[in-house]
């Protein structure tokens, strides 16, 4: 995916409050970046749903993919927690 398209997706997702996902293949694993504006406590169900969906497709976390999580905890600027 080219940079302008990634920026557009990020901008649209940010405006509508949706989590942003980017995947990049590395060797035999896919690294999925999860950037969420909310907190793990209130919005963690979205990440769980993603993992359940991938499992339903036969994907195994740690074997075929890993997820790099970042949670903004509702902050608009500053440090994003891991």
- In this prediction, residue 60 carries a pLDDT of 92
For residue 46, is it within any domain?
Answer: yes
For residue 79, is it within any domain?
Answer: no
What domain count does the chain have? 1
For residue 82, is it within any domain?
Answer: no
For residue 40, is it within any domain?
Answer: yes
Q: Which residues form the domain of 8?
A: 3-71
For residue 12, is it within any domain?
Answer: yes
Q: What is the DSSP string of the chain?
A: --HHHHHHHHHHHHHHT--EEEEEEETTEEEEEEEESS-HHHHHHHHHHHHHHHHHTT--BTTTEEEEEEE-TT-SSSPPB-
For residue 36, is it within any domain?
Answer: yes
Judge whether residue 19 has pLDDT over 60: yes
pTM: 0.60
Q: What is the pLDDT of residues 48-82, one digit of tens each?
A: 999 999 999 999 999 889 999 988 887 776 665 56
For residue 28, is it within any domain?
Answer: yes
The mean pLDDT value of the chain amounts to 78
Of 44 and 78, the structure prediction assigns the larger pLDDT to 44
């Amino acid at each position: 995916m080219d940079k302008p398209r990634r920026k557009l997706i990020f901008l649209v997702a940010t405006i509508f409050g949706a989590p942003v996902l980017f995947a990049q293949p590395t060797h035999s694993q896919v690294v999925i970046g999860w950037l969420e504006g909310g907190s793990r406590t209130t919005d963690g169900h979205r990440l769980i749903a993603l993992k359940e969906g991938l499992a339903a497709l036969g994907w195994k976390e740690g074997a075929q993919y890993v997820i790099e999580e970042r949670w903004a905890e509702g902050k608009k600027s500053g440090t994003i927690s891991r």
